[in-house]
Structure 1
Amino acid sequence: MYMDSRPIYSLSYGGSNASHPTIIAHAETLSLLASLSPHDPLRPLPHVTFEDNYTVRVGNQTLELSYHGPNHTPGNLFMYAPAQRVALLIDVVFPGWAPFSELAISGFIPGWTAAHDVLLTFDFDVLVAGHVGRLDIEDLHDSCASAINGGFDVTAAIGPTVAANPGNAWAEFKAYFRVAVQTCADNTTSRWLGVLGAADVFAFENAYRMVISLIEDV
């Protein structure tokens, strides 16, 4: 994978760096942390920030940092150690397990989903994912898209609610939304239960977040 080698930041052990480490982060991270500083003045801010790519060298070790847009959070980075063929991406992939509730409470679902494909462009042998021990995100996406595009009988699903709440648009939408999410959750669970750890535990919450994204983000 091509990585822009500029800017390059070189660190050395010992001296002031040993007791006062240099914090490197994406510019979005600095912006977010700075907004919290008035309420949490002890929270350290990054000393060095970048926008796209950044290479860190410590002695003969190299770590490549790259940003591919917001996913779990704005500023969430891909990290790659080329010599060791190790990639790191936190709060996106949950090896062997379904994601945490509401797709890991991610802020931007299209970016979070796309991050899986970006990760596969790295040439790695080891992935450091940050949590637990593989929900097929494409399958969840397709199941939810199918659910909200004719995947169930809408009239039958919301008829009783409409009859009981005439003119109440929120009640109608909630009834529709609940059935759409449950339809997606049931379909996904039926295919992944027993394959992924806890595939059923957050099935509804993950389907809920995906349906919201399909409605709002596309």
Structure 2
Amino acid sequence: MINRRHVLRGSGIAAGAAALGLAGAGISPASAAGQPSPPTFLPLPDSVKPLPVNADGYRLERVGRNGYVLIYQYVQSVFVVTRTGVVLVDAPPLTSEVLPAAIASVTNKPVTHFFYTHSHADHVAGVTNYPRATRIAHRDTATLLTLHNDPSRPKPQVVINEDHKVLYIGGEEIHVVYPGANHESGNILVHFPAQGLTAMSDVVMPGWAPYRAWGNADYLPGILAAHDAILGTDFTTYVGGHIYRTGTRAEVKQSREFFLDFWTTTQKTLGNISLPEIQASLAEPLNGWAAQKVWIDRIAQSVMSEMIDRWGTKIAAVDTFTADCAGAAAVSILTDAPVDFP
């Protein structure tokens, strides 16, 4: 399955919300001076706020005996120190200065192996800092990296074709699981059983609502399969690739519940808002794009309102990208979702 997302582009949060007229997006009225006030949003729960960082601005968490999670600003990376070297999962370019220093702070062993969770540059374009590492990726990611032809994301030397592959590197047992296309074709989870550690980028942001349009996911129904694959591993610490903390099993389950609620709410709303009635009400009914826009925007408003009511105090940022996610879910339901999903 070939990727249909590349670079995330979009207007600002406030502008997008204003265009949809969304209650709950919290756009403040113009100030007395005639300048727009900063947009306001629901407060973040304390459970998702950043934890303390070191003098270099990053947080390094030890997981198990020899696993580590680097958290720097809003990106994350995982590495495990084995008998023969360091196994690294993702290298966001934002961490190009701090990640080598974090590794060196716990071991003098070199990075010998690198796992691409998927092809997106925000997670992996720092791999060239480790030129001697053997690069490993799923076959779909290898295909996309070839198409990208980006020197900062070189092709892997080892390509995994199986849906579940067990590797042994430096005495460390490593499970690579591919549940099918999800956030991106080829997006894998990497599980280190001895450390109780599972990493899968851009599927679950523990304690947070999804990013804009589910991060422009390749295949939205695959997001549910990815949740199930994560929960199918025996982990105590989950790493989602973004935001300020690692996650727990309970938070992955919560994210799964949110996805199901979101999907079924969108399905219901699709049936409750009539596209033909909207089209007939337009000054130019033959403008199908305009009819679709009004229809999807109304669906988005309704879904956003319901999700804020049910989830706004439970997880972070339900009032930010939910409308975009609802639009993406509506299109997926109409075009590529399996019959009777979920």
Q: TM (normalized to structure 2)?
A: 0.54
Q: Of 175, 193, 214, which residue of structure 1 is paired with 2:312?
A: 193
Q: How many residues align?
A: 204
Residue 117 of structure 1 corresponds to: 228
Residues 177, 229 of structure 2: 8 Å contact kept: no
Q: Contact 2:285 / 2:291 at 8 angstroms: preserved in 1?
A: no
CA-CA distance at 1:181 after TM superposition: 2.0
Deviations 1:58-82 (A, max 9, x none): 3322211121211111111111111
How far apart, CA to CA, are the structure 1 residues paired with 2:311 and 2:194? Answer: 35
Q: Which residue of 2 aligns with 1:149?
A: 271
Q: Does 1:108 align with 2:219?
A: yes
Alpha-carbon contact 1:51-1:67 (below 8 Å) kept: no
Instruction: Evaluate the alpha carbon distance shift between residue 27 and residue 147 of structure 1 in structure 2; reply closer, same or farther with a 3 A threshold.
Output: same
Residue 93 of structure 1, aligned match among 172, 196, 204: 204
Deviation at 1:186, TM superposition (A): 1.4
Matched letter for residue 260 of structure 2: E
Deviations 1:165-196 (A, max 9, x none): 24333332322222122211211121111211
1:22 partnered with 2:144: no
Aligned to 1:6: none
Q: Taking structure 1 as the reference length, what is the TM-score of the superposition?
A: 0.83
Deviation, 1:33, is 0.9
Q: Identify the residue that residue 76 of structure 1 maps to in structure 2.
A: 187
Which consecutive residues of structure 1, in runs of 5 or more, have no partner in the other structure? Answer: 1-9
1:66 corresponds to = 177
- Opposite residue 35 of structure 1, the aligned amino acid is L
Structure 1 counterpart of 2:261: 139
Gaps of 5+ in 2: 1-81, 86-108, 113-129, 246-253, 338-342
In the alignment, structure 1 residue 48 sits paired with structure 2 residue 158: yes
Question: Per-residue CA shift, 1:88-124, capped at 9, x if unaligned?
Answer: 1110001111111101221111112221122111121
Q: How far did residue 28 of structure 1 move? A: 1.0
Q: Residue 156 and residue 60 in structure 1: after superposition, are their counterparts in 2 closer, same or farther (change >3 A)? A: closer
Cα distance between partner residues in 1 of 2:190 and 2:184: 15
Q: Which residue of 1 aligns with 2:278?
A: 158
Give deviations 1:29-85, integer Å, cap 9, x for gaps: 111111222xx3464210011112323323322211121211111111111111122
In proportion to residue count, which structure has more helix? 1
Give the equivalent residue in structure 2 for 1:170: 289
Tell me the secondary structure at the aligned position of residue 271 of structure 2.
coil
Distance 1:16 1:174 in 2: 49
Task: Select 1:181's aligned residue among 292, 297, 300.
Answer: 300
Q: Which amino acid aligns with 1:178?
A: D
Structure 2 CA distance for aligned equivalents of residues 146 and 189 of structure 1: 16
Take 2:214 and 2:227, find their aligned partners in 1: how far apart are those partners?
13
CA contact (8 A) 2:275 2:292 kept: no
Which residue type is aligned with residue 147 of structure 1?
T
Report sequence identity in percent: 29
Cα distance, 1:19 vs. partner?
5.8
Q: Which amino acid aligns with 2:327?
A: Y
The runs of at least 4 aligned residues of structure 1 exceeding 4 Å deviation read 14-19
Give secondary structure in 2 for the equivalent of 1:142: helix
> 2:83 touches 2:171 (CA, 8 Å); kept in 1?
no
Q: Report if the CA contact (8 A) 1:162-1:171 is conserved.
A: no
Q: Distance in 2 between matches of 1:110 and 1:200?
A: 22
Could you report, residue by residue, the CA deviation over 1:108-149 in whole angstroms, capped at 9, with x for unpaired residues?
111122211221111211111111245511110011001001
**Separation in 1, partners of 2:327, 2:135:** 36
Question: What CA distance in whole angstroms lies between the structure 2 residues aligned with 1:156 and 1:46?
Answer: 50
Aligned partners of 1:28 and 1:75 also within 8 Å? yes
Q: Is the 8 A contact 1:157 1:179 kept in 2?
A: no
Matched-pair contact (CA < 8 Å) for 1:54–1:64: yes
